[in-house]
Amino acid sequence: MNKEIIKLSEITRYFHVGTETVEALRSIDLSIKKNEFVALMGPSGSGKSTLMNLIGCLDTPTSGQYILNGEDVSQMNDNELAEVRNKEIGFIFQTFNLLPRSTALENVMLPLIYAGYSKTHRLEKAEKVLSDVNLSDRVTHKPNELSGGQRQRVAVARALVNEPSIILADEPTGNLDSKTSIEIMGLLEEIHKAGNTIIVVTHEESIAAHAHRIIRLIDGKISSDEINTEIKTRVDYTFAEEVE
């Protein structure tokens, strides 16, 4: 049986806006096991972005406990959180967040610099993951020389390069057309099959349909947590040819 990789207990997160206190998360209890594929959904203001930031160690809770891969990260300082993020979590963002003046290879190598790998090892690992996402012929291209789908694949490669426990994808298809969105979700399916835990934050039902479990938030609370019995898959997934 797969072990529990994420455990949130009585998590709350309050923000002070002027004289008001905004309750973004209210007593959240959640556990996610290794190699689960989870979609986190909710309308604007539901708390899903706050929850994503907590799971991704970009923020800490006001109260409650967060155990990540056996380690209590609830009370860590910024430096400790940064170290956990680099080791445990690979991020994929809607806006790609690539350095515009750096090549695909240099963008993918960046997390390895922070992790302290030698230049030779950085090069070897970055080339491998770019090959894994079918971009071996684009390693020297800069973001403005790549299509939207190719840029997101570079972002996926960057998320994978440190071999993290969790891939956290925030609206990963938000800036892509429907055809390319399906390709990126197919890629996430392949990553999941290889053993990674995947958490996708999305407001699109068609994207959430790829996940094996769908968690919905409303007003800072989990309103439903259900197994997806009609998983949408790309059985014969292949990368489509893209025109620059």
Could you state, in chain order, the average pLDDT of each consecutive group of 10 residues for the chain (244 residues)? 90 92 94 96 91 94 95 92 91 90 95 87 94 93 94 93 92 88 90 93 91 96 94 54 39
Over the stretch 2-51, which tens digit does the pLDDT of each residue have?
799 999 999 999 998 888 998 999 999 999 999 999 999 998 889 999 99
CA atoms within 13 A on the CB side of 61: 23
Contact status, residue 35 vs residue 196, Cβ threshold 8 Å: yes
**CA distance readout (Å), 52 to 108, 125, 149, 197, 199:** 22, 27, 23, 14, 9
pLDDT value at residue 232: 79
Q: Helix, strand, or coil here: 172?
A: coil
Would you state the torsion angle of the CA atoms of residues 25, 94, 194, 182, taken in this order, to the nearest 10 degrees? 120
pLDDT value at residue 231: 85
Amino acid in the structure at residue 161: V
**CA distance readout (Å), 205 to 13, 163, 175, 228:** 26, 28, 16, 12
pLDDT value at residue 242: 41
pLDDT value at residue 234: 58
CATH superfamily of 36-57+77-227: P-loop containing nucleotide triphosphate hydrolases (3.40.50.300)
Amino acid in the structure at residue 51: L
pLDDT value at residue 69: 92
Domain layout of the chain by residue ranges: 36-57+77-227
